[in-house]
Amino acid sequence: PSSSIIMANASGKGEPTSLDGVWNATVKGCDPTCWYNGVWEITSKDSGDEQTTTTAADEIVVQELRGTCCCCIPNCIRKTHRMKKVEIDKWEGTLGFKTISLKKISDTELEHLTTDGMMIMTRQ
């Protein structure tokens, strides 16, 4: 079975929206001479490390599939962020003693705080 993070729509009505899958990422407010573009994949886990399709995904994994900075320099060390749910539509964790987080802004936009700064993620 495929895993998914199911979120209520902003209005709280209608079908919930899954955040699982591939997302495009850009650094928020980045200097145009040195910017980051990447592709990340989100998957959810329950506390037993099993895949889940519940609205209460205890843990998520956000994995960098590819990324470039300064227009053309590939990111050779890809990141994997493991986070736990701290409130509705928000997960947090740490990597290298730095806080990382993922927050749902809308069905098609997320804020992803990484060790390199704030990114905006949009559906691919």
| pLDDT tens string 72-124 | 777 778 899 999 999 999 999 999 999 999 999 998 999 999 988 899 999 96
What average pLDDT does range 6-27 have in this prediction? Answer: 68
Percent pLDDT > 70 in the chain is: 70
pTM: predicted TM-score of the whole model, two decimal places: 0.75
1 is a domain residue: no
Give me the number of domains the chain comprises: 1
Which residues touch 64 (CB under 8 Å, ≥6 apart)?
38, 39, 40, 75, 78, 79, 80
What are residue 81's DSSP bridge partners? 62
Question: Can you give the CATH number for the domain in which 57 is found?
Answer: 2.40.128.120
Instruction: Give the position of tokens 């559906």.
Output: 123
pLDDT at 2: 43
Residue 70 pLDDT grade (very low, low, confident, very high; cuts 50, 70, 90): confident
86 is a domain residue: yes
Domain containing 101 equals 6-123
77 is a domain residue: yes
